[in-house]
Structure 1
């Protein structure tokens, strides 16, 4: 990922807007998109998103092919067995910032 690209994203507000997504907004997103169906491991439909002060945990997953690239992910854990699912933060950002997403 080039520095120019990172600079352009920062100027568009992607990073601060993504960091500002609240747990309530994330829960609204997964409900609207029907992202959290029954756990494929145990069948339970109860999921939890790790959070601090109302802000959901936001994790990065680095690429083995490009050390300059990382995906930003929101994590959900099955409350019964601990199975983990990830939701791409960029999709959540685009949901709440459709005008900026079209220009990105």
Structure 2
């Protein structure tokens, strides 16, 4: 019996693996792990604390640049990226680690009420 195992799989890879298993006459078994809901937390915890803050800051840089509202961009840059206390960045990190949230969800929660 053949066995194929994938650690993480996107939807197209899952479909291809399923079709390949169904097409083989030997009755191959396909096992697919579901996406880990704590993958962002695990990734952050695998790096040094300073690197954790830098990773979250890089996320915010991309998030802010992709925002279409110029006023909101300026506000978020001032309150998130230029804050010497790193209040929003630390809050985001704490939410990811303590509540096992994805970084985008934690960032949205951490910035609620920061910029109207």
TM-score by length of 1: 0.31
Higher share of residues assigned helix: 2
Higher share of residues assigned strand: 1
Q: Name which one, 1 or 2, has greater alpha-carbon Rg.
A: 2
TM-score by length of 2: 0.29
